[in-house]
Structure 1
Amino acid sequence: MSDSSRTRRIVVLISGSGTNLQALIDALNTPALPNASITLVLSNRKSAYGLTRAAQATPPILTAYLALQPYLKQHVGKTREDYDAEVAKIVLKEKPDLVVLAGWMHILGDGFLELIDGRKGLDGEEPVKTPIPVINLHPALPGAFDGANAIERAYAAFQAREITHSGAMVHRVVKDVDRGEPLIVREIPLEKGEPIEKFEERLHRVEHEIIVEGAKKVLDEL
């Protein structure tokens, strides 16, 4: 099979309801995301509804679960970095072309990144020859409201008349939180008198579009 017609493999990491995962599932093998399949959905929360979405997809998508605190309790003496390496191990088994963080609420450090980008190999194994791109969806503009609660912080800044708009972006994942190269950036105006729930609704609609655009963009560059 030629490389251009090969099905591109995506692993998605989630923590919550999985609406952005659903956007990716719905786009698979359409013009928005051609020649692609999600081979694994990994969650760090057992109750994440995104796992149900994956299991109910047609065809069903393999799921896995690994949470930090239970992992540390079960493996006395292990560290957060060891957990990140274990996440990388699960991901690498799938031989993905792309890893998408779609509402993954855990900061991945070098324990993950150096295995995914080939700086290190898994125990006794050769490192990956080609770095695997990792992208993240973040509900803010580059350099604004990095980290958690970005939507609430942007809304509060608007109420304080510090900003007139916010946005969402898909960016490459690096060690520094939400500081990787932006791939897709979309501005979203804030509207006077609009409740935060309405703003959040509008922002999520944009997220569902750009996570698919970002995934396609990176896969097409491979």
Structure 2
Amino acid sequence: MTARDDAAPARLVVLISGRGRNLEAIQGAIEDGRLNARIVLVVSNKTRAPGLQFARLAGLPTVAIQPRQFADRQSYDAALAHRVAAARPDWVVLAGFMRVLSPAFVDPFAGHIVNIHPSLLPLYKGLDTHDRALAAGDSHHGASVHLVTPALDDGPIIRQGRIRIRPTDTTETLAGRITDRIEKKLYAAALADLIEARVHVAPDGTLIDAAGRAYTPPVEDYD
């Protein structure tokens, strides 16, 4: 990673696997002036990911790198890291990238990879988060933006948003509300915290605020 002029837009590389709804929201925040950044590359592990079409229509550079072209996960992740590094990102943004990344990818960008996860971490790491929240009888559910480490969904949290779980909620209705009410706003806000230096990554990988104090991530209600 290279030093950046604070006034220049941050360079983002966004990784997707599907529809790219968070990609769309981030690009919208850039176009609206809410996020001082530009997307310099959109990468997918699937050639037919619908989000690639959105990216192309928005004039964003795209590339698809398929895992089946590589002998194993390690070699795929190394090739992926090489391609991402060539775009000289300030931040690598995982936006529905449905692969667990190994140290071969994470280590070169340590402290500069961000993910959004559909739960109130540390609850419900991994898959099926909405089902698990409903099965547990939780009163709230939400999403978390966090730094990526080699451990799954385990990095320091930057921001969280939550909504109340309704008695009538199903997996589908809950997932839809998490996406529409929280994720589309939360990710851009968390990226702005990092880009505008309201939150810093300390040398030990923890988060600190602008005054150098230990950072406590806000949990916002989106009901």
Give the match for residue 218 of structure 1.
Answer: 194
Pick from 185, 192, 209 the counterpart of residue 209 of structure 1: 185
* Structure of larger gyration radius: 1
2-structure distance, mates of 1:3, 1:212: 20
Stretches of structure 2 lacking an aligned partner (at least 5 in a row): 201-223
Task: Work out whether 1:183 is the aligned partner of 2:133.
Answer: no
Give the match for residue 52 of structure 1.
Answer: 53
1-structure distance, mates of 2:80, 2:118: 24
Give the match for residue 20 of structure 1.
Answer: 22
Identity, in percent, stands at 32
Give the match for residue 105 of structure 1.
Answer: 98
TM-superposed deviation, 1:219: 1.4
1-structure distance, mates of 2:164, 2:9: 37
Stretches of structure 1 lacking an aligned partner (at least 5 in a row): 73-77, 118-130
2-structure distance, mates of 1:193, 1:167: 17
Task: Work out whether 1:84 is the aligned partner of 2:85.
Answer: no
Scaled by the length of structure 1, the TM-score of the pair is 0.82
2-structure distance, mates of 1:41, 1:152: 30
Scaled by the length of structure 2, the TM-score of the pair is 0.82
Contact 1:85 1:115 (C-alpha < 8 Å) held by counterparts: no
TM-superposed deviation, 1:165: 1.4
TM-superposed deviation, 1:23: 0.1
Equivalent AA in structure 1 for residue 141 of structure 2? S
Contact 1:10 1:100 (C-alpha < 8 Å) held by counterparts: yes
1:155-187: CA deviations, max 9, x gaps?
Answer: 2323xxxx2111100000001111100000112
1:94-140: CA deviations, max 9, x gaps?
Answer: 001111000000011110122223xxxxxxxxxxxxx6x10000000
2-structure distance, mates of 1:44, 1:81: 14
Give the match for residue 65 of structure 1.
Answer: 64
**RMSD between aligned residues:** 1.6
Q: Which runs of 4+ in 1 moved over 4 A?
A: none
